[in-house]
Amino acid sequence: MKKILTSLLLGIALIMSNIPASAQYEYSPNQASAGIGLITHCDILEITSDIILTGFGVAEMKFGSDDEAGIAYNFQYNRRFTKHLSAGADFTYQRITNGVYPGWIEKSLSKEEKNEMVGKMKSHYLSLIPLAKLFWFDTKYVGMYSKLGLGITFLDREYDPCKAQYSHVEKNSNRHCFLGLQLSPIGIEVGRDMRGFLEFGYGTMGLINFGLEATF
């Protein structure tokens, strides 16, 4: 393992040492981007959590399997302080819709009734995350970087029943906040003043995040 890591570091050093002098360009200090994230931290929370709706007085109901994972829309601004380091903040919005079904512990219900949707749960996630961006390869037209951010995520969850037997549960909402994060070990951007980017990581911006970035 030590030999592999040593060889990898030597290879990176060799590549960096062979960057032509023209690659040492004057970088633009401001970066503004808009992106689309897929398979986010919020998606995984919704899928893996078998949440019982006790907060709405309907403990006999659980989320179903027809969850609609929404696209995460993110907007970001970074200020570049050195050739290798920038810092800024990201705002991400995502809406996830879940069908709600009677709980399987209700033995009095028939199989058909247990499979019939009785309501909709709409979850709105708003994340505000300060972040740092470290460039470990950067030329005039290509940049490669890693990104790390920690912040806060606000959740506004709204339940809307659609079956008569649950009409005693009024349409209402429930609000929470929790730690928001984004770790993107690999990111690549291509272009000059207007760049396209692609990132792989985990967090509120998704396992895959892509979009456009303007530098000025």
Which is more confidently placed, 170 or 118?
A: 118
Please state, as a whole number, how many other Cβ atoms lie within 10 Å of the Cβ of residue 61. 24
pTM: 0.74
| Alpha-carbon gap, residue 77 to 30, rounded angstroms | 8
Q: With 90 as the cut, is the pLDDT of residue 116 above it?
A: no
Between the two ends of the chain, the Cα-to-Cα distance in Å is 42
Which is more confidently placed, 186 or 58?
A: 186
The pLDDT assigned to 49 comes to 60
Sequence ranges of the domains in the chain = 31-215
**What confidence tier does 207 reach under pLDDT thresholds 50, 70, 90?**
very high
**What confidence tier does 59 reach under pLDDT thresholds 50, 70, 90?**
very low
Q: With 60 as the cut, is the pLDDT of residue 1 above it?
A: no
pLDDT digits (tens, 9 = 90+) for 187-197: 999 998 899 99
In the block, tokens 């990898």 appear at 8
**DSSP string computed for the chain:** -HHHHHHHHHHHHHHHHT--GGGS----SEEEEEEEEES-HHHHHHHH---EEGGGTEEEEEE-S--BPPPEEEEEEEEE-SSSEEEEEEEEEEEEEEEEEE-TT-TTS-HHHHTS--EEEEEEEEEEEEEEEEEEEE-SSEEEEEEEEEEEEEEEEEEEE-SGGGTTS--EEEEEEEEEEEEEEEEEEEESSEEEEEEEEEETT-SEEEEEEEE-
Q: With 60 as the cut, is the pLDDT of residue 91 above it?
A: yes
31-215 fold: Porin (2.40.160)
The pLDDT assigned to 108 comes to 64
**What confidence tier does 204 reach under pLDDT thresholds 50, 70, 90?**
very high
pLDDT digits (tens, 9 = 90+) for 11-33: 555 555 554 544 455 778 899 99
Mean predicted confidence (pLDDT) in 127-143: 93
